[in-house]
Copies of this chain bind each other. A is one copy, B any other.
Amino acid sequence: MTQPTSSKQKSEPTREALISSALHLFGRQGFDGTSTREISARAGANIAAIAYHFGGKDGLRLACGKAIAAQMTKVLQNGVKTPFASKDQAIRHLENTIEAMARFLLLGARAEDILSFMLREINEDGPVLDGIYQTMIEPKHRELCAAWGGATGTDPESEDTRLAVFSMIGQLLYFRIGKPVILRRMEWETIQRQDADRIVRLLKRNLHAALAAASEE
């Protein structure tokens, strides 16, 4: 056994390079579609380094999940206090979250690898998803539910609210998940900044419409 949680020596560069390489390749080609040789070559490391640092290919996969969770919790961290002080503040938080997530998903170059990897792991429904769900998805969803409740005057943890937040996140995520389909249909080659702006505007319009509809019930 090796692998202390923190860095004792200069093994970090290799570790990080392997994780970065694996994240990229797993996301693009899938776990089974990526060979350990490919990963180590891209990382500029030796094949044996995977077994040495992570115990094997599966260990590297888990490490990728942990790395994502660690990074995203840092990104998603915003000193937000629930419950929200006012209705306007709750709405503004929802708007800001949509905008930030949309830009990250649609324009961020780094997001490509992370998202592809996560989507595969969600579909797989394995131990990697467990970690990602508990450390980032669930806390973030709870936070958004609190905002939704504050914005509509409904119970933040009611089934209806939880589903409504999923529907909001869903239309947002689909613009990234269905990217190949959307690019074809929109006759775009890539998603430019102005395209992302247009999508964000649409999402905000839908948000306000959905909030109004949810408040009336």
A contact set with B: CB distance below 8 Å:
29-33, 116, 119-120, 122-123, 125, 129, 133, 137-138, 141, 159-160, 162-164, 166-175, 177-178, 180-182, 184-186, 198-199, 202-203, 205-206, 208-210, 212-214, 217
Cβ-neighbour of A173 out of B137, B174, B185 (below 8 A): B174
CB of A72 to closest CB in B, whole Å:
14
Q: Is the CB of B123 within 8 A of A185?
A: no
Q: Is the CB of B185 within 8 A of A174?
A: no
Chain copies in the assembled complex: 2
Given known contacts A30-B33, A175-B170, A209-B213, is B163 in contact with A125 (CB within 8 Å)?
no
**Within 8 Å CB of A185, what residues of B?**
137-138, 141, 162, 166
CB of A159 to closest CB in B, whole Å:
7
CB<8 Å pairs between A and B, sample of 20: A29-B32, A30-B33, A32-B32, A33-B33, A119-B177, A122-B177, A122-B178, A159-B186, A162-B186, A163-B199, A163-B202, A166-B174, A170-B170, A170-B172, A170-B175, A171-B174, A205-B210, A205-B213, A205-B217, A206-B209
**Within 8 Å CB of A212, what residues of B?**
209
Q: Is the CB of B123 within 8 A of A159?
A: no
CB of A30 to closest CB in B, whole Å:
5
Given known contacts A33-B32, A186-B162, is B180 in contact with A173 (CB within 8 Å)?
no
Q: Is the CB of A133 within 8 A of B169?
A: no
Q: Is the CB of A210 within 8 A of B199?
A: no
* Residue of chain B at shortest CB distance from A137: B181
How far is A33 from B123 in the complex, measured between Cα atoms in Å?
Answer: 13
How far is A209 from B164 in the complex, measured between Cα atoms in Å?
Answer: 13
CB of A156 to closest CB in B, whole Å:
13
**Within 8 Å CB of A177, what residues of B?**
119, 122-123, 170, 173-174, 177
CB of A100 to closest CB in B, whole Å:
18
